[in-house]
Each structure stands twice: as structure tokens, then as C-alpha cells.
Amino acid sequence: MPQPTYVLVHGAWGGAWCWRDLTPELDVRGIAWRTMDLPSSREGARATTDLDDDATCVLESCGTDAPIVLVGHSYGGMVITQAAPLVASLQKLVYVAALVPLIGQSATATSRMVRVRTQLDDAIELDGDVLRLDPVLASSALYGHCAPATQSWATSKLSTQTVASFRAPRSAADVHVPTRYVACRDDHAIDPSLQSIMASRCDELVMIESDHSPFLSHPSDLADLLIA
């Protein structure tokens, strides 16, 4: 069987740029990868852009020429769960500090399963039909283990996120492929207690001593955990 392609799905307010430091680590390990910019995280997105639009974007990125491993970070866990049944060559799902919804659960409902206010909650600002992040608060919430230059660069790249994407429920059925959860121990965006619940919905749990963004703060360690 050919080696799988890892399709990397970023979280809310992010983009393909998130994987800047991880993809060279995958290259060194001989791992094929693909990235995309989710529609709900693009500046100027339609107010109705939601989970289904993001899942369609992922499907288009998968192609049909190789087995696929879907990797979802944060909100990206919602997206890969929604897209999974339609990926014919799906081999595995990997969740990185991610939401793992049950059928009928939205990102908002899933994140509220644990009533712990995080630094990310404090950073979120409602602006009509989109959500923005206060850059100062977002820096510590998302990139606490990163070097100052990386924090500044990543914070400058953050976009808006449609409210509709957080409110749309998962409608996709379960798939029968192996699932791995990468939990971040020092996460100030998705509380570790919530990650523990999310991990219980997966086959395997691995830990990393990281902030919410190990692809920037610990890219080599994360690459090893993705392909182990």
C-alpha cells in the first residue's frame, strides 16, 4: 500500500500558514502532506459559511491518489469529523488539542462540556457575524511556548472566524478507522480537562508538553507523534 498523505486542517482564526514549521519536519521524514485555508477563517467570508463549507474544502484537498490521514487542530477536529465519511481512502484520524464532537454537537456545544473559562475565551470579540481575537490576549492563549518572534508573526496572521461555523452541528456518521488524540498539557485555549473528554472518544491518547500550537512551538515532537 502506498504511504498516506497527511491532510493538515487548521483551527479557527488560522490558515495554511499555521503549519510553517511542521511541514519541513514532515519533509525530513518523507511524509507527503497537504494544507488548505478553511472558508470560515477567511477575511470577508460570507456570514453563512459554516462547518459543511469547511468539510467540503477538506474533501477537495484530499484528492483520490493516495491513502489519507486527516489531522485536525482545535476547531479543525470538528471539520475532519464532518469530512471523514466522504473520504474514500481514509486511513486514520488524528486530533491535536481538538474538538471531537458527537453527532448533533456544534463546536460551541462541544467546547461548553467543561465550564472552565480559558485565556482564549477572554480574547474572543464578537463583531457582527464574525469573531475576532484580541491580539495581545490571543498571543498568550495560543502561542505561550513560542519564541517572541514566532508569537508576533502568528498573531499578525490571525483572521476572523464566522459565528456560523461554531454553531453548525456535526451531521456526519461515525467512521471505522483508527483515531489518535494528541493532548497538549499546557493549553490555555482548550482546557486539558476538556481535552481529556475529547480523548476518551478516540482509540489512542498521547501527550505533549505544549501550548495550544505545538506545530509552531514543538514541531519536531509533534511530527513524531503524528506518524508514530
> Identity (one letter) of the amino acid at 208?
I
Phi, psi angle pair for 90, to nearest 5°: -65, 130
pLDDT at 58: 98
Q: What average pLDDT does the chain have?
A: 97
Q: What is the number of domains present in the chain?
A: 1
pLDDT at 178: 98
Percent of the chain whose pLDDT exceeds 90: 96
Instruction: Identify the residue with better confidence: 102 or 88.
Output: 102
Instruction: Name, in order, each residue with C-beta under 8 angstroms of 161's C-beta and a sequence gap of 6 or more.
Output: 12, 13, 40, 41, 75, 130, 131, 132
pLDDT at 64: 74
Confidence of residue 15 (pLDDT cuts 50, 70, 90): very high
* DSSP string computed for 136-152: HHHHHHHHTTS-HHHHH
pLDDT at 95: 98
pLDDT at 2: 84
| Average pLDDT estimate for 196-222 | 98
Sheet containing 90-96: give its strands across: 32-35, 5-9, 68-73, 90-96, 179-184, 204-208
How far apart are the C-alpha atoms of 114 and 112, rounded to whole Å? 5
Residue numbers annotated as active site: 74
Residue 79: CATH number of its domain:
3.40.50.1820
User: What pLDDT digit, counting tens, does each position of 24-82 carry?
Assistant: 999 999 999 999 999 999 999 999 999 999 999 999 999 877 899 999 999 999 999 99
Parallel/antiparallel/unpaired status of strands 179-184 and 90-96: parallel
| Average pLDDT estimate for 174-196 | 98
Q: Provide the domain limits for residue 193.
A: 5-227
User: What pLDDT digit, counting tens, does each position of 133-155 carry?
Assistant: 999 999 999 999 999 999 999 99
How far apart are the C-alpha atoms of 160 and 19, rounded to whole Å? 18
Percent of the chain whose pLDDT exceeds 70: 100
Reported as type and span, the H/E element at residue 8 is strand 5-9
pTM over 0.85: yes
pLDDT at 88: 87
pLDDT at 213: 98
